[in-house]
Structure 1
Amino acid sequence: MTAATRLLDEMCHLTAQSLTSLETSDHFQVVKMLGEGSYGKVMLAVHRKRGTPMALKFFPRDSTNLFSFLREYNLSLSFCTHPSLTKALGIAFSTPSHYVFAQQASLFGDLYDVIVPEVGVEEDCVQRVVSQLCGALTHLHSLGFVHRDVKPENIFLVDAACRWVKLGDFGMAKATGTKVPGVWYSSAYCTPEAEMAKESEDSRHNTASKPDGGNGLENKIKRVWVSVEASTDCWALGILIYAMLTGSLPWTQTASDDRSYIKYQEWFDQQNDQDGQDDELDLWGEGKDEDITMSLDEDKQNRSKRKSHPVAPQFACFTPLASSLFLTLLHPQPGLRGRPDDVLGYLGGDWLQVKEKIQLEEERKTIRGREVIRNEKEREGRGEGYRSGDTRS
């Protein structure tokens, strides 16, 4: 346990003793809904005395553990000091029905809203977002915390062009090394190491679905416990980059029976074997023995053959630079997975093949054209003309 995680626990106990009860409407003017989920809802509000806009996050008291609420609040308040982490504003209270805390408001939605299905977003925009997220995750990990829920819906936009984004929603965040129940779910964001919990999840589901609750053997199946590690965020970052660049996911679920994931594993293993062979050749090359008879031409031919392995189909649109990035972040073994700060070395170069960029740009132009036509029809329906001062396309 790091000093930061110990301090967080102490802050939660102190905050629990000073949490006040009040009516939201007495202190805030609620403007609109910003989002909602299983945790509760987030509302845009204005502080009546200060006139400050903020986001109020509401957690239903009947389904929320108080200490969990206080952990998320204090983590966001005291440890999210990086500019690309959503910070709480020092306001926490309870109402008869909810626990509530205030945080910075991002008025332009989340990253999910700007990723065009099957198209994605422009590559320079992707690299801007990735650069910021790498800094945010590196900061969290250095303090001993793992976010555990990196996905487009939890990345909020401070401006419409993604020049400034903030990673938020720390409800799943845990201290590194914490033991938690292993959970497998059908998504590319789920890590390969989580598949060991799949059998347990399936067995529990099947047992629960039987009227008699299943036989004794099934009831003895124990839940898998796993250690929280930063590598979980690194895997999710790799999947997120793929989603931003393509507007899709590389596979439906990270499971040994998913055909797309199997193709990726085959490609990964081939690249891994090739790297191992190259290392072995390099070691031999360091020696000066006269018994080494392999000529340079033969060496080049062998290397060329090893590099001719086909790329996994869903990664064929990427440059070798981007392919190397994905192989680093999406390493099946969590202990060998790349870190967020490793990604910084891949920024600045091209990630998409030229022909892929051209095709995606044509698709974006088509989509923008449809949006213009739809907007014009909506204006005509409202009896509005195009304003000469409006330069938006």
Structure 2
Amino acid sequence: MRVESTPQKCNSSQSECFVHIKLSRSSKPLLEQESSLPALCIGFGCSTAAIAVRLGDPDPFHSCREVGIPECAVKRCAVQISCALEFIHQRGLVHRDIKPENVLLLDTQCRCVKLADFGLTQRRGTFIRFISGTLPYMAPELCTMVLEEGQTEVKAPPLRVEPTLDTWAFGVLLFCILTGFFPWERCNDSDDFYEEFVDWRRSPKKTPVPSQWKRFTPVCMQMFRRMLALDPSERCSVGEVKGYVGKDWVRAKDANGWVGENGEVSTSTPSPCRSSCSDEH
């Protein structure tokens, strides 16, 4: 089990230190069972005492990678991560590395969640010239910046860093922790799961909902459509997610599969995604 520690004092001369920000508590509960959901942002690592488990680690929270975590716990994560991202976005920063390994859980009910690792964080408006390799949570416009083997430069123009990169990654994160797997390996035409999603987004009336998305309610699918818009200018802000926490996200399930609004049953096929590494410039 990998662990992270919470900050105390940090020497300014150290190359790595924590950024520890506690947001103000909301006077109105976002979830019925919570009077407040403080959001915490943490960056990098330094030695102290308290232990937190990464959301991407196997167990002790019943192995997110296999079956996801309960919907109510996902919503608690969603609210707190949303608040943390709103905070840094308001200050002109983009996290750029939203993934399960960078979400720290301090309790088994996800009542205290921390966003970690600001190693890739950049100021809004910074330009990315190319990246090496892709990851499942990278937005499609970022995947176009991959420098393939043998290339000296990418064909796409430099990409401007915007909060919409975090919105996309946040959407993929929510899918991942609800299901236990990523929806695809990479956002390009070499990935069949992503291409199936793109076809559905472009022609929703003619193309059936991709199999791995059929477990979600219409309200949840509306949220995902807003977060995972193919055009970055059409994506919602990360804060919009909080407007969906009062609705059901996952359909009921019986022995035959996921039950739809009219009683129809559908089965879903997991996406066998693997991790990869990425470097960018």
Cα 1:342–1:221 shift into 2, 3 Å: closer
More helix by share: 1
In the alignment, is the contact (CA less than 8 A) between 1:123 and 1:245 conserved in 2? Answer: yes
What corresponds to 1:133 in structure 2?
81
1:186: Cα distance to partner?
A: 3.2
Unpaired runs of 5+ residues, structure 2, are: 24-37, 259-281
Alignment match of 1:177 (pick from 125, 141, 144): 125
Q: TM-score, normalised by structure 1?
A: 0.54
1:219: Cα distance to partner?
A: 4.8
In the alignment, is the contact (CA less than 8 A) between 1:148 and 1:232 conserved in 2? Answer: yes
> Greater shift after overlay, 138-147 or 108-117?
108-117
Q: TM-score, normalised by structure 2?
A: 0.74
Matches within 5 A, 1:282-361: 306=205, 309-355=207-253
What corresponds to 1:110 in structure 2?
54
Identity of aligned residues (%): 31
Cα 1:117–1:251 shift into 2, 3 Å: same
What corresponds to 2:277 in structure 1?
none
In the alignment, is the contact (CA less than 8 A) between 1:87 and 1:103 conserved in 2? Answer: no
Deviations 1:284-310 (A, max 9, x none): xxxxxxxxxxxxxxxxxxxxxx4x752
In the alignment, is the contact (CA less than 8 A) between 1:55 and 1:105 conserved in 2? Answer: no
In the alignment, is the contact (CA less than 8 A) between 2:226 and 2:236 conserved in 1? Answer: yes
2:130 and 2:49 map into 1 onto residues whose CA distance is: 33
1:236 correspondence with 2:169: yes
In the alignment, is the contact (CA less than 8 A) between 1:181 and 1:225 conserved in 2? Answer: yes
1:245 correspondence with 2:245: no
1:102: Cα distance to partner?
A: 4.1
What corresponds to 2:109 in structure 1?
161
1:258 correspondence with 2:191: yes
What corresponds to 1:301 in structure 2?
none
1:266: Cα distance to partner?
A: 1.1
Q: Say which SS state the counterpart of residue 314 (structure 1) adopts.
A: helix
Cα 1:149–1:55 shift into 2, 3 Å: farther
Structural RMSD (CA): 3.3
What corresponds to 1:294 in structure 2?
none
Q: Say which SS state the counterpart of residue 40 (structure 2) adopts.
A: coil
Alignment match of 1:123 (pick from 48, 63, 71): 71
1:357: Cα distance to partner?
A: 10
What corresponds to 2:200 in structure 1?
267
What corresponds to 1:277 in structure 2?
none
In the alignment, is the contact (CA less than 8 A) between 2:80 and 2:113 conserved in 1? Answer: yes
Alignment match of 1:193 (pick from 141, 146, 151): 141
1:116 and 1:358 map into 2 onto residues whose CA distance is: 23
Computing the radius of gyration from Cα coordinates, the structure with the larger value is 1
Matches within 5 A, 1:43-54: 54=7
In the alignment, is the contact (CA less than 8 A) between 2:42 and 2:117 conserved in 1? Answer: no
Unpaired runs of 5+ residues, structure 1, are: 1-32, 36-41, 45-52, 59-65, 89-99, 207-217, 272-305, 361-393
1:340 and 1:354 map into 2 onto residues whose CA distance is: 27
1:223: Cα distance to partner?
A: 8.6
1:327: Cα distance to partner?
A: 0.9
In the alignment, is the contact (CA less than 8 A) between 1:57 and 1:101 conserved in 2? Answer: no
Deviations 1:326-367 (A, max 9, x none): 11111111111111111111112111110179979xxxxxxx
1:357 and 1:102 map into 2 onto residues whose CA distance is: 48
